[in-house]
Structure 1
Amino acid sequence: MFWTTGLANQAEVLLPLLLALVLCTGIGIERELAAKSAGLRTHALVGVGSAAFMLVSKYGFDDLLLVDDVSLDPSRVAAQIVSGIGFVGGGLIFVRRDAVRGLTTAATVWVTAAVGMACGAGLPLLAVGGTAVHYLVTRGFRPLARALSRSSSAPRPVHVTYADGRGVLRSVLTECTERGFAVAGMTVDREDTESGTAAVTLSLLGRIPLHPLTSELAEIPGVRSVRLPEEEEPAD
């Protein structure tokens, strides 16, 4: 039998796909606005694909159930979504020196797959709730994360690029200490003798917000750029 279900039933299964497209596009828009490596199209495709796999898992083998001595586990196809999405998420995570990037985006792709699966499984309320929780965590938790970071006694990194050989680094360290920070350590990231620039990562101790300090450091003559890690920035 070529068609496993009637045309009317096949039209009905398009509704979960449409819901998955709408919800996962909403998640993708948030990531796109944050300029992440996985944005609108990636999240929309992951959500729609997950919903389609769920629908295939539920309805794609109905004709085989009519055959004697044939039994199927409808969860087998759906279970592979969880494993397969790990390959997509793993490609979004990379390590640069001591910093790990892309974990939040990879987790968002994982949540998007769950939202798509919920749509395909016929659980629209769960899918809408998962999308709402995504926005709560990615947007609403930022002030909490910054507050916890400020209250932490762990060193906080600041990346500074400056003109080498002009005493700029000494002025940067002086400004940090005058602002109430203690320099716990310093790592040389890059030193380009041809262009005369160098880049270092300062590990600063202090519960004062870092953003006013970065503005002051950027005004020091010879400082090319001052950058905070992603978790310290006001918007990721």
Structure 2
Amino acid sequence: MSGLAAPLWDMQHGQGPRQLVELGLALLLSSLIGWERAAQQKSAGLRTHTLVGVASALMMEVSQHGFSGVLGVDGVSFDPSRVAAQIVSGIGFIGGGLIFVRRDAVRGLTTAATVWLTCAVGMACGGGLPVLALAATALHFLVVRGYPRLLPRLVPGGAASAFEVRLTYRTGAALLPRLMRICTRRGFRILRVDVERLPGGSDRVARVALEVEGTGDPARLAAELFEDDGVAHVDITGAADDE
């Protein structure tokens, strides 16, 4: 049988529809993981994770079925696991590009690990292991969503998060020092302070960006900062553990 006839043979024996289902499952599961990362505003989001998962599944399909046309030819042999091994090695380039160091703190490790997991989920789908792919996706949500809530109870002090607090407030009442004290009282360390005075009428308004790091709850911090009458707006971005 020629290599061109092999895919047609697969379609006649039900291989083609099964492979399409496996690719579809990889699309669904990797999209779910990517959606969660996009909801957390990570650098690798929906499109990146979806493409990684589908591509991994496709390469597994090619590894298993793409060379069936040369089976039985004298002097020709192949090992399907070699392609899988190269997928694992190749995904390291994407994961490595997501990791960076800022102020002696390593960021992006969780996102890089999630891309690696998405690759494994896609490989499981393409390798005909849908139960493992579904289980790994469920475990992903357990780890990234459940562990941050359990960590403060399991590990004293929890894991430090770094994020930015943007405040708009009225000047003239020594409000900024009070706001900074609230941050430190909540267990956050202030890494950077940028103040910008905004043009206005009788009310003098300023905008400040505080880069903070700590183990406290960013939502509670925002709520306490907003309780001050002089604060007009509070926005928190980039809250993450090591992501």
* Fold similarity call, TM over 0.5: yes
Is the partner of 2:68 in helix, strand or coil? coil
Distance 1:77 1:165, change over 3 A: same
Q: Distance in 2 between matches of 1:42 and 1:208?
A: 30
Contact 2:151 2:159 in 1 (8 A): no
Q: Aligned partners of 2:144 and 2:240: how far apart in 1?
A: 11
Describe the superposition over 1:14-34 as per-residue Cα deviations: whole angstroms up to 9, x where unpaired: 222122122222222323333
- TM-score, normalization by structure 1: 0.74
Q: In the alignment, which residue of structure 1 is the partner of 2:203?
A: none
Q: Write the distance in 2 (CA, Å) between the matches of 1:191 and 1:159.
A: 13
Give the match for residue 5 of structure 2: 3
Per-residue CA deviations over 1:83-120 (Å, capped at 9, x if unaligned) read 22122223333444455443322222211111111111
Does 1:172 find its partner at 2:179?
Answer: yes
SS at match of 2:194: strand
Amino acid at match of 1:120: G
1:91 alignment partner in structure 2: 97
1:143-154 equivalences under 5 Å are 143-147=149-153, 151-152=156-157
Note the 1:158-169 alignment, pairs <5 A.
159-160=164-165, 166=172, 167-169=174-176
Give aligned-pair identity as a percent. Answer: 45
Structure 2 counterparts to residues 67-86 of structure 1, below 5 A? 67-86=73-92
Partner of 2:192: 188
Structure 2 unaligned blocks of 5 or more? 200-205
Amino acid at match of 2:80: P
Q: Which residue of 1 aligns with 2:49?
A: 43
Equivalent AA in structure 2 for residue 88 of structure 1: I
Which TM-score applies when normalising by structure 2? Answer: 0.72
For residue 43 of structure 2, give the secondary structure of its aligned residue in structure 1.
coil
**Which range is displaced more, 194-203 or 41-50?**
194-203
Deviates more, 1:110-119 or 1:41-50: 41-50
Contact in 1 for aligned 2:183/2:190 (Cα 8 Å): no
Query: Against the structure 1 CA distance between its residues 101 and 57, is the aligned structure 2 distance closer, same or farther, given a 3 Å change threshold?
Result: same
Specify whether residues 189 and 101 from structure 1 end up closer, same or farther in structure 2 by C-alpha distance, changes over 3 A only: farther
Q: C-alpha separation between the residues in 2 aligned to 1:31 and 1:95? A: 20
CA distance in 1, matches of 2:132, 2:86: 20
For each residue in 1:26-64, what CA deviation from the matched residue of structure 2 results, as whole angstroms up to 9, or x when unmatched?
A: 222323333333333322221111111011111212222
Match status 1:120 vs 2:122: no
Rate the CA distance shift 1:155–1:29 in 2: closer, same or farther, 3 A. closer
* Alpha-carbon distance in structure 1 between the residues aligned to 2:164 and 2:39: 24
Cα offset for 1:203?
6.2
CA RMSD of aligned residues (A): 3.6
Between 107-116 and 95-104, report the one with greater CA deviation: 95-104
Aligned pair count reads 227
Task: Tell me the distance in 1 between the aligned counterparts of 2:50 and 2:186.
Answer: 44
The answer for unaligned runs of 5 or more in structure 1 is: none
Of stretches 209-218 and 132-141 in structure 1, the one that deviates more from structure 2 is: 209-218
